[in-house]
Amino acid sequence: MALPVNIDDLINARTVESVRIEFKKGWNPEDVVHSICAFANDIREYGSGYIVVGVEEKDGVAVLPPIGLNDNQIDPIQKELLNLCFKIQPNFFPVIEPVIFQGRHIIVIWITTGEERPYTAPTTLGPKGQRRIYVRPASASIIATPELEVELRELAANRHFDDRVNLKAKLNDLDLGLILSYLQEVKSQLFNDAPKMSLEDISLKMQIARGQKENIKPLNVGLLLFCKEPEKYFEGCKTNIVEFEDESGTKYSEKVFTGPVQNQIRQIMEYLDSTVIKRFTRKETTKSEVDRFFNYPYQALEEAVVNALYHRSYENPTPNEIRIFKTGSDRRIEILSYPGPLPPIDKNALLQLKVVARNYRNIRLGEWLKNLRLAEKYATGIPTIIDALKRNESPAPTLLTDEARSFFLTIFKIHPDTPQSGSTEIKEIEHITLSNLQQSILEAIKNEPMEDQVLIKSFPDDINKDIQFLQQKELLGYKSVGPIKLLFITAKGVDVLKVSF
């Protein structure tokens, strides 16, 4: 029966890291039982792993087209594999899918993190086999050293929250429509098999539910992804966007996003893309090409939004919050989630943008988001943000937490050349060359309007022609208050002054 992944993406390591895939040129039962045991122990907490039988590997990459298996090997291998799983203690049974890939028969074995770690397997299938714990600290299955055994037992003491059964929920809280939509999007063969299956069968097959036949319950990851109202079970599964229209913070609007995690991510990004993210062009007279930039690059914001929903604790009831400061000298976007990063990452590491540790709260959630291409591969999120900002020539992000790691805050400062006018369209910013005197005039009235005669008297030189030039270029405007003529800098003037200095 089909797996809930796209086999082509899997074999080519597009949505699954290569370290989580082991290719076997042919059927070697001893190697396979060791690898199943190692993946089930999941010492690096990847969430799952795959063994692909019938595909050769070179330098960690599949050699295609596959060598494949003979048609008459498929059933005997599946039967032998079932018997092999009884040799693992406690018994562990992965999901097996025979596949025709590029015209050849192969077998894909899906192994999720075991519930009863640590698992052991015999060193050999012969009579002299000794029982050992197998692990995969890198890309190969090995017998655990004493140090790795201690590490594994410590990990096994705590099951990840997203991989736990939710005793308050019912299987019917999982929405079949959401499940089918996911399977269709990732182009899983399971989508074609679904009409012949019950919700119970599909949920067990996808490993988003668990339990005895008479009492099957959804896992937390299943509710986060495939329940229409996950906030009923996880108060923190919602995101508030607050947009501040003034610097004092008294004028603001708020929008709330709820629903499955993947839908929240997409709806938030659709909103930011349509109302916040703007593209600008600037044509400078000294250059033949046009400079293009975004006030906030989409990819950086998307990665931060994904991180906020992926890495937060859903045991914490506080919703995520995105604050958008639209005016003033410190225009920025803040993305806040709870709690902060897991050790060893601390506030100093975040300030230095040195985020290299690989500890995750929601390993199962991350796997599903990667299949949807919403999350990056392991340990690449922050580098992706930094790279996107650098390519846009935006300021580097600010990452913050406190000593207690009670929150995670990502701050994006607006691109420094973004016009103050906040145009909703792509805008061409003309580069107007200003003299030092003209720059000083605009600087003098940048913060507040000034009476024309007061401004003129504040300069030792005659500035009347310069004022006329600035008015002609629409960099300086005026308004009459009775007999008084007040001069003020326009939004275009602010933009040109910023470019000139």
DSSP character string of 281-316? EEE-TT-SSEEEEESS-HHHHHHHHHHHHHSS-TTS
pLDDT attached to residue 479:
81
pLDDT attached to residue 407:
95
Question: Helix (H, G, I), strand (E, B), or coil: what is residue 167?
Answer: coil
pLDDT attached to residue 382:
85
Distant-in-sequence, close-in-space partners of 486: CB < 8 Å, separation ≥ 6: 449, 450, 451, 452, 478, 479, 480
- Specify whether domain 1-157 bears CATH 1.10.1740.10: no
pLDDT attached to residue 286:
54
pLDDT attached to residue 449:
86
- CB contact at 8 A, 407 and 340: yes
The helix (run of H) or strand (run of E) holding residue 333 is strand 332-337
Burial string for 467-484 (b: 16+ CB within 10 Å, else e) reads bebbeebebbbeeeeeee
Listed as ranges, residues in the chain with pLDDT below 50 are: 422-426, 428, 501
pLDDT attached to residue 424:
45
Question: Helix (H, G, I), strand (E, B), or coil: what is residue 340?
Answer: coil
Nearest to 495 by CA among 451, 446, 448: 446
3-state secondary structure 34-103: HHHHHHHHCCCCCCEEEEEECCEEECCEEECCCCCECHHHHHHHHHHHHHHHCCCECCCCCEEEEEEECC
Q: Which residue type is seen at 409?
A: L
Residues of the chain with CATH 3.30.565.60: 239-413
CA angle (305 as vertex; 302, 306 as ends), nearest 5: 85
Question: Helix (H, G, I), strand (E, B), or coil: what is residue 477?
Answer: strand
Nearest to 487 by CA among 452, 454, 436, 442: 452
pLDDT attached to residue 426:
43
pLDDT tens digit sequence for 27-46 = 999 999 999 999 999 998 88
Residues of the chain with CATH 3.30.950.30: 1-157
Q: Is the dihedral of CA 446, 452, 455, 461 positive or negative?
A: positive
pLDDT attached to residue 431:
53
So what's the architecture of 432-500 in CATH? Orthogonal Bundle (1.10)
Instruction: Tell me the residue ranges of DSSP E strands in 73-211.
Output: 95-101, 104-112, 120-122, 131-135, 142-143, 209-210
Region 239-413: CATH code? 3.30.565.60
> The whole model's pTM is what?
0.76
Residues of the chain with CATH 1.10.10.10: 432-500
- What φ, ψ does residue 37 adopt, rounded to 5°? -60, -45
- What φ, ψ does residue 190 adopt, rounded to 5°? -60, -25
Question: Helix (H, G, I), strand (E, B), or coil: what is residue 155?
Answer: helix
pLDDT attached to residue 427:
52
pLDDT attached to residue 22:
96
- CB contact at 8 A, 184 and 190: no
Q: Token pair for residue 410?
A: 């990502």
Nearest to 340 by CA among 327, 351, 329: 351
